Amino acid sequence: MNEKSAPVVKPEVVHIKELLEEIRRGKLRVPKFQRPFVWRPEKMLELFVSIYKGYPIGSPLIWESADPVRSLDVVGPIAVPQAGVKPVSYILDGHQRLATLFGVLFLPEDYARTEKQQDWRWWIFFDPESKGFVHVPKGPPHDRYIPLRAMFNTRDFLEVARTIEQSCGDKASDYISEMEELSSKLTNYKLAVTRIIGGSLDQAVNIFSRLNTSGQSMMPDQMVSALTYDDAMGDKTLAGTIDDILESLQEFQFDTINRITVFRAIVAASGKSIHKSDWEALAEELKKTDLNEAAEKTKAALRSSALFLNVFLKVPMDRLLPYTHQILLLSEFFRMCPEPDSYQEDLLKKWFWSTSLSGWFAGNGGNTTQLNYGLGEMRELAGYQQTGFNGFKIMSVDDPARPFPNRFDLRAARIRALLLFMLLLEPLDPETGTPLQADQVFRGPGTSALPYVFHRAPGGLTSSPANRVFLRTIQGRPAKVQLLGVYDELRQKVLESHCISEEAFHALQNDDARCFIETRAKDLERSEREFMVSLGLTLPKETGYAEPDIDTGED
């Protein structure tokens, strides 16, 4: 840690307009080690909903220093000047929130309005009719829509009010009243800010890591980026490198894995323990490591892992990966062994399915101590001819599988494992008889991604995974209609590909939800057990379970 006078921590409450003015003047800047702007459009809208309702939006952390720190010349979509005087303040945490507020509320009148997301996301409007916030990706906004960029500019505010008065008839006065109320809420909204005055960047980041125990915190890679910034990576920060790695995984549809997983993969590739949570100590260790080299090796290893998951294990996207930790461990294996032989591939296949079905990562395997041991076993497997590797011990592949689930929840690892098995059956489109691709089905978020057969079923059976099918969502043709409309010459192949027996299909024809779901559940369970036997896995000890294991990718 750099030796400097002790920094002073100063909590304060400021109006958001005051803070944004500091950004506009270049007095408050975004250091280059921060991640670029990554918030999704819907996340931007949620921020303004919170402000409108008077909810807290978190406390930004700002470090004020006379020391120069390389910083961005653009915040959100807007160029900002260099600070004219010292000291300068730097945003250590809260960049995404403040960039959203600054970019939307200070957006220039002539800013581009194209159908590209990077353009239209900054144009946020308030609908005084619904009292909601909206984007308008295509076409002109409704006459009553109020651009938020006009809220802090008197001339623009009056111009918008004049337009509403001329175009909205009897509703105009009500809309203008809503606009005035919105302006008041934005102008009077106060933000809790924590300022660290003086000290070094190392001291500021470590103070933050101790202060911020909840809420939207700086990610570990951002903290380590800050602490290693001048020495290890230069202009290429660790946080920026992780963004590059995630972008490179897009072609395999694995670009939305938790960035903490990528961070841990780099730490593991550097030969360090992923158990570390003392960011200053970890940063000091990583300064002695060639982080660029470790990051590049990790990038190649994660790409090999994603390809292996896609091609060999038939996992089409990270959304269906049962446990995020699985790609972390595969990354370490492929870093050391880019081209596995058939013995290693078969062991990895059994390991993947065993841990997916048994819930090893949901138990002791989910803590970082066990994960470090697991990484060690992967390294031994990678060099098994030299290490004398004789099977997994810590990550047992002999644990019994969890019972067949009785409730569909796409967040649950056991459900994702079941869906991967169902994909192995190569479900066919009832209309064409051609195999369906996962990305044709998984377009919607959450549990709505896989359509119901029966939207209502007795005895809680609606939530059964046997009541879901791999079919495209087609307006006016729900899953049940698609299945019943299958051509006779395709029927047997289509039904078998969806694990629907003749008995279950007859129940479907008779609109008997209970019989269909119960029969198909038994068929799916039987087929899944046959698959487990073919891999030499240990079958479940019982049937049914109550609580699904939800994988967050974190400890």
Domain ranges of the chain: 8-107+183-211, 220-387, 413-535
- List the Cα angle 141/145/149 in 5-degree steps: 95
Q: Which of 432, 413, 429 is nearest to 421 (CA)?
A: 413
476: pLDDT confidence band, cut at 50, 70 and 90? Answer: confident
pLDDT of residue 367: 78
pLDDT over 90 percentage in the chain: 61
Helix (H, G, I), strand (E, B) or coil at 294: helix
Percent of the chain at pLDDT above 70?
Answer: 86
Q: Are strands 124-127 and 74-75 parallel, antiparallel or unpaired?
A: unpaired
Does the structure show a pLDDT above 90 at 546?
no
Q: What per-residue confidence (pLDDT) applies to 205?
A: 67
Q: For residue 200, is pLDDT > 80?
A: no
- Asked if the model's pLDDT at residue 71 lies above 70, the reply is yes
Q: How far apart are the first and last CA of the chain?
A: 28
- Largest interatomic CA distance in the chain: 83
Q: What confidence score (pLDDT) does residue 364 get?
A: 61
Q: Are 428 and 464 in contact (CB under 8 A)?
A: no
Task: Evaluate whether 117 touches 137 at the Cβ level (below 8 Å).
Answer: yes
How high is the pLDDT of residue 445?
47
pLDDT for position 241: 81
pLDDT value, residue 1: 41
Q: What are phi and psi of 108, to 5 degrees?
A: -65, 150
How is domain 8-107+183-211 classified at the CATH fold level?
3.90.1530
Name residues whose C-beta falls within 8 Å of residue 242's C-beta, 6 or more positions apart in sequence.
221, 259, 262, 263, 266, 295
State pTM to two decimals. Answer: 0.70
Lowest average pLDDT, out of 24-33, 78-87, 275-284, 363-372, goes to: 275-284
Neighbours of 548 (CB within 10 A): 21
What is the gyration radius of the CA atoms in the chain, in angstroms? 27
Q: Which residue has the higher pLDDT, 214 or 56?
A: 56
**Regarding beta strands 88-93 and 28-29, do their DSSP bridges make them parallel or antiparallel, or are they unpaired?**
parallel
